[in-house]
Amino acid sequence: MVTGASSGIGRAIAERLGAEGAYVVLSGREQSAMEESAARIVASGGKAEIVVADVRDANAIQGLVNAAVGAVGQLDVFVNNAGVSFLSPILASDVESWRLMLETNVLALLVGCQTAVRAMRVTGNRGHIVNISSAAARDPNSGVYGATKHAVNVISNSLRLELLEDPIQVTTIMPGLVATNIGRNVDVAVLEGLVLMSGLEAEVRAGERLPDEVLERAQAALHDIMIKADDVADAVMYALSRPPSVHVAEIVVRPNKDFAL
C-alpha cells in the first residue's frame, strides 16, 4: 500500500514494489496518473490496484487498508508517502497552507500508521511501515514544512518502540532534494530556472505540475544537488529486503551538495 502514488517518490516506490512482485495498492487523488503506473506494473509482470482517496479523510485510509487486505489476505507494507510543501516564511504564510501540511504530512501519516498496525495485528504477519520524512527533519530551521517532518521522525521512532513485541518494523526515509513536483508551490522563478536547465519548452504556472521529461532533464543537469525518485525507491527496497533480525530505522538519502530554496 503506497499513498501519494500518483506522482514523484510514491509513484517510483509503487512501481518498484510492483516490479519486485508485490501486489501494489496505489492511492492518490489523480486516477489517470495512477492508471499509467498500474499499467507499467502489470506490464512488468506485477499486480496493481488503484484506490482514489484523500488521505486527510481517516475513513478513506481504512478503505485503503481494507482494499489491500481484501486483495491478498494481509497487509505487508504500508508506505506513508503523500505529502505537501509550502515553503514560505512563517510570517508571510497563511493558516490554510499550515493546515494542509499538518493534515497531510502528520495527521494522515498517524492514521495510516495506526490503521496499518491494527490490520497487521489481526493477521499476525511480518509487517513494515515506511514513513517518508525529509532531510528537513534534521534542520532545526526548516519552517513549518520541516516541523511536520520533525513530527514524522518523532512519530516513527515512538511507534518503533511501541512495536518491539510485534513482528512489525518502522523505517523513516529522509530524502534530500528529489526531482519531483513537490516544489510546485515555490517561487515561479525557481521553477522557470529548472525548465531552462532542462532545455525543453514548458509553461510554468504557480501550483501546477511540470512534465516528467522536464524534471528528468533538469535532474540530469543538476545531479549534484538533486536526486531521482528512483534513488528513494532504492532506499525503501533496501529497508524492506533486510532479514527480520535487522531493523533499518532511518535512512538519509540525499544529493552530494545541499540546495537551499
Ligand X SMILES: NC(=O)c1ccc[n+]([C@@H]2O[C@H](COP(=O)([O-])OP(=O)(O)OC[C@H]3O[C@@H](n4cnc5c(N)ncnc54)[C@H](OP(=O)(O)O)[C@@H]3O)[C@@H](O)[C@H]2O)c1
Catalytic residues: 145
* Contact call for residue 22 and ligand X (CB under 6 A): no
Secondary structure (DSSP) of the chain: -EESTTSHHHHHHHHHHHHTT-EEEEEES-HHHHHHHHHHHHHTT-EEEEEE--TT-HHHHHHHHHHHHHHHSS--EEEE---------GGG--HHHHHHHIIIIIIHHHHHHHHHHHHHHHHT--EEEEEE--GGGG-TT-HHHHHHHHHHHHHHHHHHHHTTTTTEEEEEEEE-SBSSGGGGGS-HHHHHHHHHHHTS-----TTPPPPHHHHHHHHHHTTTT-B-HHHHHHHHHHHHTS-TT----EEEE--SS----
Q: How many residues bind ligand X (CB under 6 A)?
A: 27
Q: Which of residues 207-236 bind ligand X (CB under 6 A)?
A: none
Nearer to ligand X, 125 or 200 (CB): 200
Minimum gap (Å) between residue 84 Cβ and ligand X: 5
Interface residue with ligand X among 2, 15, 24, 28 (CB under 6 A) is 28
Binding segment toward ligand X, per CB under 6 A, in 1-9, 37-45, 62-70, 158-166: 1-9
Minimum gap (Å) between residue 236 Cβ and ligand X: 11
Minimum gap (Å) between residue 214 Cβ and ligand X: 13
Binding segment toward ligand X, per CB under 6 A, in 67-75, 79-87, 90-98, 157-165: 79-87
Q: Which of residues 125-144 bind ligand X (CB under 6 A)?
A: 132, 134
Nearer to ligand X, 7 or 169 (CB): 7
* Contact call for residue 104 and ligand X (CB under 6 A): yes
* Contact call for residue 115 and ligand X (CB under 6 A): no
Task: At 40, give phi and psi (nearest 5°).
Answer: -65, -40
Task: Note every long-range contact of 105-108, with CB atoms under 8 Å and residues 24 or more positions apart, other chains counting.
Answer: 105/145, 105/148, 105/149, 105/151, 105/152, 106/148, 106/151, 106/152, 106/155, 107/56, 108/3, 108/55, 108/56, 108/61, 108/80, 108/82
* Contact call for residue 112 and ligand X (CB under 6 A): no
C-alpha cell, 50: 488503484
Interface residue with ligand X among 20, 40, 44, 54 (CB under 6 A) is 54
* Contact call for residue 182 and ligand X (CB under 6 A): yes
Nearer to ligand X, 56 or 247 (CB): 56
Interface residue with ligand X among 7, 37, 156, 198 (CB under 6 A) is 7
Binding segment toward ligand X, per CB under 6 A, in 27-35, 66-74, 159-167, 190-198: 27-35
Interface residue with ligand X among 18, 127, 175, 255 (CB under 6 A) is 175
Binding interface with ligand X (CB under 6 A): 3-4, 6-10, 28-30, 54-56, 81-85, 104, 132, 134, 175, 177-178, 180-182
